[in-house]
Structure 1
Amino acid sequence: MTSPNSSPTEGTLSRSIIVIALLGAVIGGVGAPLITSAALGLNVPLEVAQWTLTITLFTGAVTAPVLGRLGAGRQRRATVLIALGLVALGGLLTAVPAHFAVLIIGRGLQGLGLGVTPLLMSIARDHLSASRAESTIATVSVASTVGIGVAYPLMGFVDEAAGLRIAYGLGFLLSLTAFVLAWLALPGSNSRQRVRIDSAGALLLALGILGVLMVVAQPSVWQQPWIGALILIAAIAAFAGWAAVERRTTSPLVDLRLFLTGNVLRANIAMLASAVAMYLLFSLFTRYVQTPANSGYGFGLTGAAAGAALIPFSALGFVAGRATPSLAEKTSARWTFAIHSAAVIAGMAVFAFSPDSLIVVLIAMSLLGFGVGGVSAIMPRLILDGVPKSETSSVLSINQIVRASGFSFGSALAGLLLATATPADSLVPDEFGYTAAGFLAIPLVALSIAVVAIRRRPASR
């Protein structure tokens, strides 16, 4: 452990962890703004091009618990470096002119970066003093929000100015920078523990997550309802098998007894509900501003301009993340979560009040960014309350899976609701469809607040 007193070494390590996390978030956000360009440039259907994002979420969700378990032992630094090295390799594959399958492989490798975030938090918890560790972890957690606000306008602009492969090439350079910085700055683990990986559990978890992503992110599987139902049943069976294996093995990916303890379970339920609500609203807002103005609503923003509209979202998210530790000290972690969740609801209310004004919509997106940033920043504190340091990366890895799954479901839910609100003779939904869909976020956010507010009853004497 480092000295509890702050030092230049601590400051350098803290900044390095934050920059690596931010670069990873930007790399993770490379796919979303380039989906349409990939479909047009590589002559594939839009639904197929959607896999340039889905495959990243899948590999990130599958590898997160494996990386988290490796991070609990003495191989943590090597695990981070190998993961970032593979991310860089994936970035290189996306940048070279090749078959669409090579692009998918590259995007899959880039998904490994999503599993690095819990390891960075674990390093901060082990090597920084308590106050600096808490601040660093909060900032790392909110980096995904800032990363979206950076990736969308940056990649949209580069794509429009120089083309799809150059935009992916920029992602490669960013991943290479993250690898070099990690090599120079990250310390080794204090643990001497040898870690074994539960291969059977990892395979079952992968099958379960793949099934869920297919039924959520690929609505076409429901064109034949029995196919969608069969995939969903297979996913549930895989998760059940994974849980059975985890309970019996001596080296589980996740300690389910720890995962099912009160605060960890409640925090993950709250994270799932919040993630669905937040990404539902995010998808609605970003799609609304790009709707052609001749539709009777919307502002017809280009991809780059729509990305620029996310700058307030990102900036307010960063502000919320930096302010969260001090707010939690003045109130409590539960109250801080409730305050930031209320900002999400306020963003929806502002949007519903006057969606025809771009300024009002930007204010709504700013409030949403503030809420997303704050919720992301306080979640590690809620999750890690009472969790042993040795299980930090493992527990946070599962939270990453919950968060990514919630984001995927929120995005798919937005698409489903808007499709339902689209008349048969129109290419765009009715304007009211956006408001009606957005109001579904309110009960989800309310549920997350209620779950977090539950207090454990003290043991009877």
Structure 2
Amino acid sequence: MDGLDTDSVDSSQAERRPGGVVAILAFAGIVAAITQTLVVPLIGELPTLLDTSASNASWVITATLLAAAVATPVAGRLGDMYGKRTMLLVSLLPLVVGSVVCALSSTVVPMIAGRGLQGLGMGVVPLGISLLRDIVPAEKLGSSIAIMSASLGVGGALGLPFSAAIAENASWRVLFWVVAALAVAVASLIWFLVPADRANTAAGGFDLLGALGLGAGLICLLLGVSKGADWGWGSATTLGLLGAAVAALLAWGWWELRTRDPLVDLRVTARPQVLMTNAASILVGFAMYAQSLVVPQLLQLPEATGYGLGQSMLAMGLWMAPAGLMMMLISPIGAKLSAARGPKITLTVGALIIALGYGVSLPLLGSTGGLLVVTLVCSTGVGFAYGAMPALIMSAVPQSETASANSFNTLMRSIGSSVSAAVIAVVLAQMTTDFGGFALPSEDGFRVAMLIGCGVGLVAAAVAFLIPVPRPGALPGPGTAPLAAPGTAENAGTAFEAKA
């Protein structure tokens, strides 16, 4: 293949063993997702472990969020230019180095630096999904995308009990050594067993100014959103950051529309199908994340509150783990629905199921079994939605821009999750009850949070239903193949770039 023919693995092996390639890429996604939840069991202990304040320790989480937001679109663009497999390997390097730095850290500054490096590796999932389009047979692509997308949920769900079990029974440093070893294993499997894709030699240059502008805008936006509750939503710092974000992103958009080789082709993202899918992705990201903020707190609050369930961190993680496995189990069903009716319908159904999960939560908040049902229903919806979004994106963009478009879509979901965290935090902070002199979120606060998730899920379903997917045979955008009829693999996101 052009630019990467010297690799020992070729695409014919993917044709013969597509399941093995998908499994490796899904494993990469699981490792990346585990990294995001890795420090959750340590949040309360980080100030003591790192000899710092709780406010400083919170940057251990924020640093990963910010680094991932900046790195994901950059990795996507570089993947389109130099090959997705190459960028997968490059993305895993800071994940390994960052894990080692964290494992060796004893103070907060190197820990934050290490977590930032880990965040640079979060482009693994959109790169993996995009690579599937290049190397997996068309008839296998829909189910492969669904499985790869579900790896996020599996990793996120397994990460909690995994981290809690190690933190409770061994040194916290073991967490990072294990992740470093897993990342090395993933890189080795990709190097030896995943075939190379074709580098796009006509992609042009890298838009460094665009990358810097987008990074500045995203850092200001996400920093203001994630730290606004701590700093005060009306504080000069928060308002200044949000204002700077608007200015930076507007200037970035102006530049992207005028430069010859943009980081993100905004004309492609402005296509109605891509634009509406990204809008739905923000809403799905919001709805998906709301319950993951509420359920763990309800499980761990003391029973004496009257609504808490008194579970340990490990028990909480185990109660939530089945939800991630549900995503993996449901993903093939979502792929079949996309093949039969199109990914637009799958995304709509997924958003409705998420809303249903929040709806049934209201009478079930008082028991562990009830919360398990809530997480299983919501994860079923997320499994449908996460498999459908990349399919919608890839069926509307040229193959040469697959990674960039998928990475931008992933970024939209992350922004939705960040906004969700901020909104739910405000709700729970405002609706509190006194418990032994401490202010805890009230039961009504949790109910309002779940109602918000339900409402956003319904809005996501409406937006998804309105995505304007061209009818079969309609002329697609430049650089994409004609759309196939419903029921074919191509309509589920396998429209490949037309050959001259």
* TM-score bin, normalised by smaller chain: over 0.9
Structure 1 partner of 2:362: 352
Larger CA deviation: 426-435 vs 38-47: 38-47
Paired letter, 2:123: G
Secondary structure of 2:277's counterpart equals helix
Higher helix residue share? 1
Paired letter, 1:268: N
Secondary structure of 1:428's counterpart equals strand
Instruction: Check if 1:9 corresponds to 2:21.
Output: no
> How big is the shift at 1:259?
0.5
Structure 1 partner of 2:212: 203
Show CA shifts across 1:327-385 (max 9, x none). 22233322222222222122212220132121111111111111122211111112222
Query: Any gaps of 5 or more consecutive residues in structure 1?
Result: none
> How big is the shift at 1:98?
2.9
Q: In 2, distance between residues paired with 1:51 and 1:216? A: 14
304, 319, 325: which one aligns with 2:314 = 304
* Distance 1:11-1:313 versus aligned 2 partners, 3 A rule: closer
Paired letter, 2:166: V
Q: In 2, distance between residues paired with 1:93 and 1:128? A: 36
Secondary structure of 1:234's counterpart equals helix
Q: In 2, distance between residues paired with 1:221 and 1:370? A: 36
Instruction: Check if 1:213 corresponds to 2:225.
Output: no
220, 233, 245: which one aligns with 1:235 = 245
Structure 2 partner of 1:428: 440
Aligned-residue identity in percent: 28
Note if contact 2:355-2:455 (Cα within 8 Å) is conserved in structure 1: no
55, 65, 72: which one aligns with 2:73 = 65
Q: In 2, distance between residues paired with 1:178 and 1:235? A: 35
287, 305, 324: which one aligns with 1:314 = 324
Note if contact 2:14-2:195 (Cα within 8 Å) is conserved in structure 1: no
Q: In 2, distance between residues paired with 1:299 and 1:104? A: 33
* Distance 1:95-1:455 versus aligned 2 partners, 3 A rule: closer
RMSD: 2.2
Note if contact 2:46-2:57 (Cα within 8 Å) is conserved in structure 1: yes
> How big is the shift at 1:46?
3.0
Query: Any gaps of 5 or more consecutive residues in structure 2?
Result: 2-9, 475-500
Paired letter, 1:213: L
Note if contact 1:74-1:188 (Cα within 8 Å) is conserved in structure 2: no
Secondary structure of 2:199's counterpart equals coil
Larger CA deviation: 442-451 vs 181-190: 181-190
Structure 2 partner of 1:337: 347
Paired letter, 2:439: L
Instruction: Check if 1:174 corresponds to 2:182.
Output: yes
> How big is the shift at 1:441?
1.5
Instruction: Check if 1:456 corresponds to 2:468.
Output: yes
Runs of 4+ in structure 1 deviating by more than 6 angstroms, as ranges, are: 1-6, 457-460
Paired letter, 2:220: G
TM-score (norm 2): 0.87
Note if contact 2:213-2:248 (Cα within 8 Å) is conserved in structure 1: yes
* Distance 1:318-1:292 versus aligned 2 partners, 3 A rule: same
Equivalent runs, 1:65-144 vs 2, <5 Å: 65-144=73-152
Note if contact 1:95-1:172 (Cα within 8 Å) is conserved in structure 2: no
> How big is the shift at 1:189?
2.7
Note if contact 2:356-2:454 (Cα within 8 Å) is conserved in structure 1: no
> How big is the shift at 1:14?
2.2
Larger CA deviation: 8-17 vs 277-286: 8-17
> How big is the shift at 1:192?
4.4
> How big is the shift at 1:44?
2.7
Q: In 1, distance between residues paired with 2:84 and 2:167? A: 36
Secondary structure of 1:323's counterpart equals helix
TM-score (norm 1): 0.94
Show CA shifts across 1:280-314 (max 9, x none). 12211111111111112111111111111111211
Note if contact 1:73-1:189 (Cα within 8 Å) is conserved in structure 2: no
Secondary structure of 1:443's counterpart equals helix
Note if contact 1:20-1:181 (Cα within 8 Å) is conserved in structure 2: no
> How big is the shift at 1:122?
1.8
* Distance 1:4-1:341 versus aligned 2 partners, 3 A rule: farther
Q: In 2, distance between residues paired with 1:382 and 1:33? A: 36
Q: In 1, distance between residues paired with 2:197 and 2:343? A: 29
40, 54, 69: which one aligns with 2:62 = 54
